[in-house]
């Protein structure tokens, strides 16, 4: 028995399901999870000494790769000063200014500790600003584990096949409306059914939590026009896409500016962090400037601010990084498509920048209805074969893969070859 298996057996008696986040348990792909010990660049090393090319990147934050020297050096310098103050620091100002400079829709920002906290806070703010109670989300989109967001959610909820989570009250469910991603008519129907009652429409502008699903041409623009017309706030959840698909996130890539934006992952450089921001007139309703209360003991933690600031400085200071990511991701996607075409397997390959997903289905994936037609058993076999060959993918069909600037040509070539061997193994 290897050390990972032993550790998981121990964890089962200590943690619910043996993990601190459900998808890590490998329930969707079988077997037991791999316990990691170290990471550098594009590689992970587990407790048994096995090395993997990593396409999770801690679920998105490590766009610079693991343990980037400048980020690590900055963290060491901050550790020598303090780990937390519970008081303001210049670092908070510097990171806030950097975010405001890079993200088109943000004029003011509030730091929090997770993406879930950011989306919960932004929803409360939207309700207060509009004096409306209902929100509209999209089937298959995941915005954290807040009660309102577990209605027809994606990510681990979809992976585990869970219905709307127990503990979510009926009144919360009644105030959460759902529509189909990339279907503006389904949104219009809800707006007509609940006139002047919807506070905000929240969405991942590029969905990453039912796998990577880009917006159809004109969809985001149609949402923007509808929200402006109806007095509804448009909220982009860019926890995943922020600084990932473009320096200014999906709103820059698609040239559609929301009223509110939530962020996480990359803005902490791998440390726990979240943020929400938007128009100044909306954000000034947050306490102590306004009446909407939200607070956090570790909000603006100096370690998270340090790692995030150094990460954003690196991303904004080198014009070649995003073209590199685009080029490497395209080469990987093209190689995988070539292998699949050669074997005649049905598939869909979706990609936006350095986010991508291989879906085992013969239907174009534009929404949750199509994503859930995927052959999840085939994906589980594929995942296992790739893991055997040193490629670490998300242990679930309904997740995105992420590249970093440290994924070099050798990594891409090795991954394409592992993909070819894995596909041949599962079609025998």
List the domain range (segments joined by +) for residue 174: 69-317
- CATH at residue 87: 3.40.640.10
pLDDT for 160 equals 44
Q: Are 152 and 181 in contact (CB under 8 A)?
A: no
Does residue 358 share a domain with residue 310?
no
pLDDT for 154 equals 44
pLDDT for 168 equals 73
Does residue 182 share a domain with residue 83?
yes
Number of H helices, E strands in the chain: 15, 14
DSSP SS3 for 179: strand
pLDDT for 153 equals 53
Beta bridge partners of 237: 262
- CATH at residue 14: 3.90.1150.10
Does residue 275 share a domain with residue 200?
yes
**Long-range CB contacts (< 8 A, 24+ apart) of 93-101?**
94/305, 94/309, 95/267, 95/305, 95/308, 95/309, 95/312, 98/309, 98/312, 98/313, 98/316, 99/263, 99/267, 99/275, 99/277, 99/312, 100/277, 101/316
Does residue 313 share a domain with residue 227?
yes
Does residue 85 share a domain with residue 146?
yes
Q: Name the stretches of the chain with pLDDT < 70.
A: 146-148, 150-165
Alpha carbons 340 and 350: distance in angstroms, whole number: 14
Does residue 311 share a domain with residue 235?
yes
Q: Are 376 and 218 in contact (CB under 8 A)?
A: no
Tell me which of 265, 299, 317 is where a domain ends. 317
Alpha carbons 164 and 180: distance in angstroms, whole number: 17
The count of other CB atoms within 10 Å of the CB of residue 98 is 19
Does residue 363 share a domain with residue 281?
no
Does residue 170 share a domain with residue 263?
yes
Alpha carbons 367 and 170: distance in angstroms, whole number: 26
Count how many domains the chain has: 2
- For the record, the structure tokens of 93 come out as 């100002």
Does residue 139 share a domain with residue 60?
no
Beta bridge partners of 359: 348
Tell me which of 292, 317, 342 is where a domain ends. 317
Does residue 357 share a domain with residue 271?
no
Does residue 47 share a domain with residue 134?
no
Does residue 110 share a domain with residue 220?
yes
Q: Mind telling me the catalytic residues? A: 142, 237, 265
Alpha carbons 187 and 197: distance in angstroms, whole number: 14
């Amino acid at each position: 028995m290897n050390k990972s298996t032993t550790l998981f057996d121990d964890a089962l008696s200590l943690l619910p399901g043996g993990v601190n986040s459900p998808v890590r348990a490998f329930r969707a792909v079988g077997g037991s999870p791999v316990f990691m010990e170290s990471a550098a660049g594009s590689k992970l090393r587990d407790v048994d000494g096995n090395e993997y090319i990593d396409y999770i990147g801690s679920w998105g934050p490590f766009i610079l790769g693991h343990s980037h020297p400048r980020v690590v050096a900055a963290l060491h310098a901050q550790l020598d000063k303090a780990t937390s103050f519970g008081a303001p620091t210049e670092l908070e100002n510097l990171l806030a200014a950097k975010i405001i400079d890079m993200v088109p829709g943000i004029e003011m920002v509030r730091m929090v500790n997770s993406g879930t906290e950011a989306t919960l806070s932004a929803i409360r703010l939207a309700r207060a600003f509009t004096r409306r109670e209902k929100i509209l989300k999209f089937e298959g989109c995941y915005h954290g584990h807040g009660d309102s967001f577990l209605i027809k959610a994606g990510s681990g909820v979809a992976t585990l096949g869970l219905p709307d989570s127990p503990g979510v009250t009926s009144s919360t469910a009644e105030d959460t409306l759902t529509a189909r991603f990339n279907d503006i008519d389904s949104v219009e129907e809800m707006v007509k059914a609940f006139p002047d009652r919807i506070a905000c429409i929240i969405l991942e502008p590029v969905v990453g939590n039912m796998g990577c699903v880009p917006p159809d041409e004109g969809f985001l623009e149609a949402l923007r026009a509808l929200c402006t017309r109806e007095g509804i706030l448009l909220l982009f959840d860019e926890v995943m896409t922020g600084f990932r698909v473009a320096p200014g996130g999906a709103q820059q890539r698609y040239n559609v500016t929301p009223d509110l934006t939530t962020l996480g992952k990359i803005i902490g450089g791998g440390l726990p962090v979240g943020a929400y921001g938007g128009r100044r007139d909306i954000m000034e309703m947050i306490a102590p400037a306004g009446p909407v209360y939200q607070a956090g003991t570790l909000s603006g933690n100096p370690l998270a601010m340090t790692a995030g600031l150094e990460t954003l400085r690196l991303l904004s200071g080198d014009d070649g990084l995003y073209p590199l990511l685009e080029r490497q991701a395209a080469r990987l996607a093209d190689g995988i498509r070539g292998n699949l075409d050669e074997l005649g397997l049905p598939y869909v390959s979706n990609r936006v920048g350095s986010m991508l997903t291989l879906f085992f289905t013969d239907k174009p994936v534009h929404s949750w209805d199509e994503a859930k037609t995927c052959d999840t058993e085939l994906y589980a076999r594929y995942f296992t074969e790739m893991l055997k060959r040193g490629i670490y993918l998300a242990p679930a069909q309904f997740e995105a893969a992420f590249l970093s600037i440290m994924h070099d040509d050798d990594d891409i070539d090795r991954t394409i070859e592992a993909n070819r061997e894995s596909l041949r193994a599962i079609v025998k």
